[in-house]
Amino acid sequence: MRSIDITDKIRALSVYPYDDYKVVLKPKMHLYYAYRITDTGIEIELSDYLENAPLSVLNDECAAIVKWSMGNRYVQPPSLTEYLRTSDFIVKSRPTYLKRCRSLTMTQQGRCKNLIDSVERLMESGLVFDEDIRNSYYTWADHMAKYKFGQCNQTFRVVSVNPILDDDRVPDEVVDYVIYHETLHLRQDMSKTRRPHNAQFRTWEHMFPDHEGMENYLKNIYSVLE
Ligand SMILES: [Zn+2]
């Protein structure tokens, strides 16, 4: 995929005070934004995941990046935050994200365990709610760092799980616990916190029965499975 030039869609007012500007959408795995000051003005790079975003959102985002280029902190425009939460954005751009990830198996059914069974048990026990898993996607990873057991991408609402847990010797509760932890990241409102494992998160996490036992199991998993 190549870059898409959207300069003609951006109002000059959004990039004021630069007279000369260029705005391109680039294909990268994560949502990202960047700018470069050129001899004559500014070049703004946005993620191609925003290809179908309303023009008002793209203009707001360019204005935010211009402010950033003037030495202010980057602040994501509320219109963009809102757009990124729409199912239209999540469901349409996720297949591209999944393709770019490369480390995912894109299946919930592992050799031994099905991730959706975990989600269902968590819902039955009242730990996870419909709203938490709205527009979400769960998949086994085909590899992950040794002591990382799950991962959550909040933008595309993708939860992936370390394949080490796809083993009959691993109790179902342990997989449920990892899924629970990652699902709590789906529940979090990241526009309001920059610290994912904050006090609110820990309170939710500690609602899992014997969560300390689960943590201990994970800490020692490689000696259990040897
Ligand atoms: Zn976490």
Distance between CA atoms of residues 135 and 158, nearest Å = 9
Give distance in angstroms: CA of 185 to centre of ligand 1: 7
**30 and 10 share one domain:** yes
CA–centroid distance, 148 to ligand 1, in Å, is: 10
Ligand 1 mean position to 54 CA, how many Å? 32
Q: Per the structure, how many domains does the chain have?
A: 2
CA of 98 to the centre of ligand 1 (A): 20
Q: Decide which of 53, 84, 115 is a domain's last residue.
A: 84
Ligand 1 centre distance from Cα of residue 75 (Å): 24
Are residues 155 and 179 both part of a single domain?
yes
Instruction: Indicate if 112 and 207 belong to the same structural domain.
Output: yes
Pair 123, 80 in one domain: no
**Mind listing the pLDDT tens digit for each residue in 201-224?**
999 999 999 999 999 999 999 998
The answer to whether residue 164 is domain-embedded is yes
Domain boundary among 84, 115, 136: 84
Among residues 170, 184, 150, which one has the least CA distance to residue 225? 170
Gap from CA of 197 to ligand 1 centroid (Å):
6
Examine the domain organization and report whether 153 and 62 are in the same domain.
no
Domain closes at, from 84, 108, 141: 84
**CA 187–ligand 1 middle distance (angstroms):** 12
Please check whether residues 213 and 126 belong to one and the same domain: yes
Going from the Cα of 78 to the center of ligand 1, the distance in angstroms, rounded, reads 25
Q: Which residue has the tokens 């959550």?
A: 152
Check if the beta carbon of residue 44 is closer than 8 Å to that of residue 22: yes
pLDDT, residue 1, reads 67
Long-range contacts for 193-196 (Cβ within 8 Å, ≥24 apart)?
none
Residue 141 and residue 220 in one domain: yes
Q: How far is the CA of 72 from the centre of ligand 1 (A)?
A: 30
Which tens digits make up the pLDDT trace of 127-179? 999 999 999 999 999 999 999 999 999 999 999 999 999 999 999 999 999 99
Average pLDDT (99-125) is 96
Mean pLDDT of the region 83-110: 95
User: Is there a domain that residue 124 lies in?
Assistant: yes
Provide the token pair at 66. Answer: 């211009």
Cα-to-centroid distance, 223 and ligand 1 (Å): 23
Q: What is the CATH number of the domain that holds 154?
A: 3.30.2010.10
For residue range 11-66, what is the model confidence (pLDDT) as tens digits? 999 999 999 999 999 999 999 999 999 999 999 999 999 999 999 999 999 999 99
**Does some domain include residue 35?**
yes
The answer to whether residues 188 and 78 belong to one domain is: no
Q: Are residues 79 and 181 in the same domain?
A: no
In a domain, 89, yes or no: no
Going from the Cα of 47 to the center of ligand 1, the distance in angstroms, rounded, reads: 25
CB-based contact 46:26 (threshold 8 Å):
yes
Distance 25 CA to ligand 1 centre (A): 30
What is the predicted pLDDT for the residue at 25? 97
Please report which helix (H) or strand (E) contains residue 35, including its range: strand 33-37
Q: Domain of 110?
A: 94-224
Which of 45, 59, 53 shows the shortest CA–CA distance to 84? 53
The sign of the torsion formed by the CA atoms of 200, 201, 206, 212 equals negative
